[in-house]
A = this chain, B = another copy of it.
Amino acid sequence: MTLTDDWFTEICPESGSAFSLQVKRKLHEERTPFQHIEILETTHFGTLMVIDGFIMLSDRDNFLYHEMMSHPVLFTHPAPERVLIVGGGDCGTLREVLRHPEIKQVTQVEIDERVTRLAERYFPELCEANDDPRATLLFADAIRWVKEAAPGSLDVIIVDSTDPVGPAEGLFSAKFYRDCMRALGDEGVLVHQSESPLIHQDLIRAMRGAMREAGFSRLQTILFPQPVYPSGWWSATMAGKGGPLNLFREEASRNKPFPTRYYNHAIHRAALAMPEFWGEKVDCSTLSR
């Protein structure tokens, strides 16, 4: 079977696989100072944002990624109040973070303002919390912002970045994680999206190594489905300065005062379960056990 012209295809060269969505029409396309952005209307996945040829999010399944980038880390930190989101320009993670009433301030540092402006236009539901008085949206280089942040001034850092090529490359380094370490308080937790547990095992291992090198004593990768990303199976890796990251405020999670579509306390526990291959292929240390 071959695809006709009305399909958008993302090739994942490192796994010789490709994922395609059928497209009704192109809603927008522009080249920003940082990247090339397309907004497409698909037949079954709603609106789609593509950056530099990589699918960022669709209406239909972004809830999986956004909920799993925010709620697990926030229910893991014992008392999160001050949050930094690095990247996250579509504002879907920001919306989820702001659902937690205990959060006092969220700063989002996205390098490309156009991502947020286009999200406001094409994904308005993800941006519905942008005017929350607890939120500050900055458009700047997050690597520099974190380096200059006051020590111990953050409880949680969420790195909601693109893949480790292009503008996001510097975010996957011990140097950046060391700056995060310094900016976080004693119980601070960082979480960074860490690609596919099937395809990107080397990358996850390297990220975990860089986090350890930066001084984080606790690591925990979480796993979840994400159909529009390569392999449909995705991960995020938490790195912490305080207690174990495989424990969380389960009672608070069970009684969360806001709706979700994927996340709940049972899904949180489930996301902590690692496949048998994990020990051999990814986690050669005992730090996360």
Instruction: Write the residues of chain A forming the contact surface with B, with a CB cutoff of 8 angstroms.
Output: 1-3, 5, 7, 9-11, 14-22, 42-45, 53, 60-61, 197-198, 223, 225-227, 231-233, 259-264, 266-267, 269-277
Chain B residue numbers with a CB within 8 Å of A231 are 225, 227, 232
Chain B residue numbers with a CB within 8 Å of A266 are 272-274
When C-beta atoms are compared, the residue in chain B nearest to A226 turns out to be B232
**Other-chain contact of A16, B43, B198, B260 (Cβ < 8 Å):** B43
Chain B residue numbers with a CB within 8 Å of A276 are 259-264, 267
The answer for the CA separation of A231 and B17 in the assembled complex, in Å, is: 13
Per CB-CB distance, the 5 closest pairs between chain A and chain B, nearest first, are A232-B232, A16-B44, A270-B270, A270-B273, A16-B22
**Other-chain contact of A1, B11, B61, B232 (Cβ < 8 Å):** B11
The answer for the CA separation of A20 and B1 in the assembled complex, in Å, is: 10
**Other-chain contact of A277, B17, B20, B261, B272 (Cβ < 8 Å):** B261
Chain B residue numbers with a CB within 8 Å of A42 are 16
The answer for the CA separation of A277 and B264 in the assembled complex, in Å, is: 10
The answer for the CA separation of A48 and B232 in the assembled complex, in Å, is: 18
Contact A198 B233 (CB under 8 A): no
The answer for the CA separation of A273 and B225 in the assembled complex, in Å, is: 13
Contact B45 A17 (CB under 8 A): yes
- What's the least CB distance linking A204 to chain B, in Å? 15
The answer for the CA separation of A227 and B19 in the assembled complex, in Å, is: 11
With A262-B277, A275-B264: A61-B9 Cβ-Cβ less than 8 Å: no
